[in-house]
Amino acid sequence: MSQEQTNPYKVVVAAENSPISHNAVNFAFDLCSRLSCPFTLTVVYIIALNPSTNIPFLSNLEKANNLDIQLEAKETVAVLQKYLEKFKTLTPRVNYTFVQSEGYGTVGENLTHYITVEHPDTNLLVIGSRDLEGLQKMILSSTSEYVSRHIKVPVVIVKPHDKLDDCTSR
């Protein structure tokens, strides 16, 4: 048997609780439901904490802010896991693993690090995009653009769209 036949096709989808992220999750589940080869699907939620500073007053603010980020993340994870429950009936053949990854820096940096360290053999990363342009893109930055430039695996960027032609519309 060749190496390709023994290893499953590994798909990772970056998720959060937003319509843009839901589009990416829907796409990943739909894609996996159509695969005829063995596969694994990992849904990853990234918790991006603020790095600590050496300035005493700001250091305390960062710690407090990171506690808020972690509390908000717990709420988001609960809502996201509830959202993922629907796929048990919509795509019963698609089993998935849900993972939280926490680190300091931006979501893009943490997602790139997670894939590189924890899943270096990923075959495909699926991520949503706000499809920003011009000044908005420059000011708000783009996680999907950062990841696509810095990661060494193929990336599918799911842009916003009105009508989903996927497993959620069955």
| Weakest-pLDDT range from 10-19, 144-153, 159-168 | 159-168
pTM summary value: 0.82
Domains for the chain: give ranges and CATH numbers. 3-169 (3.40.50.620)
User: For the segment 14-51, what is each residue's pLDDT rounded down to a tens digit?
Assistant: 999 888 899 999 999 999 999 999 999 999 999 988 87
Q: What is the C-alpha separation between 167 and 96, in angstroms, rounded?
A: 15
pLDDT given for residue 141 in this prediction: 57
Q: What is the C-alpha separation between 29 and 141, in angstroms, rounded?
A: 27
* DSSP SS3 for 106: coil
pLDDT given for residue 140 in this prediction: 45
pLDDT surpassing 50 at residue 4: no
Q: How far is CA 42 from CA 66, 69, 70, 112, in A?
A: 25, 23, 21, 15
pLDDT surpassing 50 at residue 162: yes
pLDDT confidence band for 99 (50 / 70 / 90): very high
Q: What is the C-alpha separation between 139 and 57, in angstroms, rounded?
A: 27
